[in-house]
Structure 1
Amino acid sequence: MLGTIPVSKDAFIGYLVSVVKWLSHAGFKKIILWNSHGQEYVLPIVKDKAIVEEGVHALIMVTSWWSWVQDLLRKAGTGEEIAPGVRLETPFIHADEVETSCIWYVAPELVNVEAMKRSKAEKMTRFINARWINTAGNVFPDKPFNWYDVSNPPEIYHYSLGVVGDASKADIEKGRVLIEKSIERFIEFLEWLKSEYPPGRVPKTWIDPEDLRYGKP
């Protein structure tokens, strides 16, 4: 997208591996990488490199905020409510109804409401028919190909506004519902995690070097 500063996946992975490694050395043994943008497919690599190559002894988990409200996001355009009187009209893609609603709720000072209302919707461009490929990253893995699995149209040629979707349909209440429900469900998971693996207890996610030898007595 125009206006962004791209960082290579290798640099990103390397940075996060270092963060995870030294968090573990500092005593954090349950580490969750909480993602809020695309390219989330690189994050499981961080988990594996930290454990296999860096010898990290920890439970490492990868997730994205939208994964906790997939059921609500799937209701977009169906007419179903995500809360009493609240509906999503368009699919979740990029800087659109959903993301603008969420940032409006979290940081309203960053949203130019008048400009938002005038925004021109840009539709997703694809080389592969929608029957075969998902359109919003890996949010809804229900097609043979996820968005990142194929070569796609370069954004700079197809999305001059940096937007894919219709931000004019954003509403702060939509953002509140999505964000608060995501937090509520995540907290429920954290409470389970604390009860299942209290401080000092870590599931063995790593292999001891001596156990990798063939013919071990």
Structure 2
Amino acid sequence: MRFQELTQPRLAAVDRANTLVVVPIAAVEQHGPHMPTGTDNLICTALAEAVERNHPERVLLTPTLWLGASAHHLRFGATLDAGLDNYIAILADVARSLLDDGFCRLLFLNGHGGNVDPLKVALRITQTEYPESLLVGGSYWSVADDLLREVLDGDHKSVGHACEFETSMILHLHPKLVDHERIADAGELVPDQMHGLFVSRDMWQRTASGCTGRPNLATAEKGARLFTGLIERLDAVVERCLAEPLGVEYTDFVF
């Protein structure tokens, strides 16, 4: 089921207790010299739509929230940013809109690393107002560490920025949007960690090219394998969210 394709009466008839609302969230921002600015949006939307197709009666898919928290890319240009306070408020308001409409199982499927922290804050705020609801959020790649290790060849076997992973995914999904002649090794990334502590640096300080990792190792074939593997893992997440008990007390979750 797709939220924006349904009428009000058809939405009103959806079984609230046994439906998972999936809200894809992403970003539009610079992705180096070879990748489209909508990379995060394109990948996250494709994954979310595939999940909905696999669960057409039990997943309600909202339109992708394409604007994200992207201030750390602004110095490169080619970036649209919501601002952290605004973004937290937007996410919380979207959750409230769905919860006030009677839905009680929400999954915010994230496709941009900069959204992770504000998403957690928004869900914490909302959970205190709707403790009886299931509020789940996280990045789609968080469920696939084993898949990334298996498929990626470079020394950065994780999801970075316009990296081997993202470039492979876009080569699979939208190959015409990639500037093939400008794909290159991104060099070393300046870390945002020091002795296990977070160091706040924007991308201008961390990479010269605006991308990370080894995009030169990307292939469409890797993208296809990654896409299939991610859908398998996300399908399992959906099943778990639909089976998870709802409640407001400790005893509601202890068997």
Give TM-score, length-normalised by structure 2.
0.60
Structure 2 residues not aligned, in runs of 5+: 1-72, 251-255
Greater Cα radius of gyration, structure 1 or 2? 1
Identity of matched residues, %: 27
Q: What residue in structure 2 maps to residue 122 of structure 1?
A: 187
Q: How far has the Cα of 1:159 moved from its partner?
A: 2.6
After superposition, give the CA deviation of every residue in 1:47-99 in whole Å (9 maximum; x if it has no partner).
111122x44642000121111111232x3xxxxxx2xxx54223132111111
More helix by share: 2
Q: What residue in structure 1 maps to residue 199 of structure 2?
A: 150
Is the 1:88–1:174 contact (alpha carbons within 8 Å) kept by the matching residues of 2? no
SS at match of 2:144: helix
For residue 176 of structure 1, the aligned residue among 224, 235, 246 is 224
2:120 paired with 1:44: yes
Q: What residue in structure 2 maps to residue 110 of structure 1?
A: 177
SS at match of 1:61: strand
Is the 1:104–1:111 contact (alpha carbons within 8 Å) kept by the matching residues of 2? yes
2:91 paired with 1:13: no
Is the 2:192–2:199 contact (alpha carbons within 8 Å) kept by the matching residues of 1? no
2:107 paired with 1:32: yes
Alignment of 1:55-66 (within 5 A): 55=130, 57-66=132-141
| Inter-partner Cα distance in structure 1 for 2:249 and 2:209 | 45
SS at match of 1:7: coil
Is the 1:35–1:64 contact (alpha carbons within 8 Å) kept by the matching residues of 2? yes
Q: What residue in structure 2 maps to residue 204 of structure 1?
A: 247
- Alpha-carbon spacing, 1:186–1:128, altered in 2? closer, same or farther (3 Å): closer
Q: What residue in structure 2 maps to residue 210 of structure 1?
A: none
Q: How far has the Cα of 1:21 moved from its partner?
A: 0.5
After superposition, give the CA deviation of every residue in 1:102-130 in whole Å (9 maximum; x if it has no partner).
122222232122322xx25231013756x
AA partner of residue 46 (structure 1): A
Q: What residue in structure 2 maps to residue 98 of structure 1?
A: 165
Q: How far has the Cα of 1:19 moved from its partner?
A: 0.3
Is the 2:186–2:209 contact (alpha carbons within 8 Å) kept by the matching residues of 1? no
Q: CA RMSD in A?
A: 2.4
After superposition, give the CA deviation of every residue in 1:148-188 in whole Å (9 maximum; x if it has no partner).
x2233x32244342112221111111112222111111112
Q: What residue in structure 2 maps to residue 88 of structure 1?
A: 153
Aligned pairs, number: 172
- Alpha-carbon spacing, 1:188–1:109, altered in 2? closer, same or farther (3 Å): same
Q: What residue in structure 1 maps to residue 144 of structure 2?
A: 69
| Inter-partner Cα distance in structure 2 for 1:72 and 1:168 | 19
